[in-house]
Amino acid sequence: MFLVVQLSIPILRFGDGDRAQRFAWQMFSTAEQSPVFVVHTQDETMEIALGDFMARVRADIDIVSLMPPHLCEVVPDADRVTWETGEHVC
């Protein structure tokens, strides 16, 4: 009986909410999601390694929507940020 309860609660709760909870098992799961960001200034083009900004890329964090605005803030004179599937104008 205990095993039924122990398995049924996570199965029933699976899919609740649109985001992983802190300290839940999803927090420790990763997926290969490594877009290459390129910051363009008037003088140069710099390829940004995600390892310089993040220890580990998590699957539940939308890197593509969060990283370009951040790069515009931290890179002086950034005009735009591009990646494989898009572009963000600073």
Which amino acid is it at 16? D
pLDDT value, residue 51: 79
pLDDT value, residue 49: 82
Compute the distance between CA of residue 34 and CA of residue 58 in angstroms, rounded to an integer.
10
Summarised one tens digit per residue, pLDDT across range 10-29 is: 777 776 655 556 666 655 55
pTM to 2 decimal places:
0.60
Category of 50 on φ-ψ map: left (φ > 0), alpha (ψ -120 to 50) or beta: alpha
Do 38 and 83 touch, CB atoms closer than 8 A?
Answer: yes
pLDDT category at 62 given cuts 50, 70, 90 is: confident
pLDDT category at 30 given cuts 50, 70, 90 is: low
Over the Cα atoms of the chain, what is R_g? 19
Please state, in angstroms and as integers, the Cα–Cα distance from residue 59 to each residue in 7, 19, 31, 46, 80, following that order.
25, 11, 5, 25, 25
Q: How do the domains of the chain map onto residue ranges?
A: 2-89
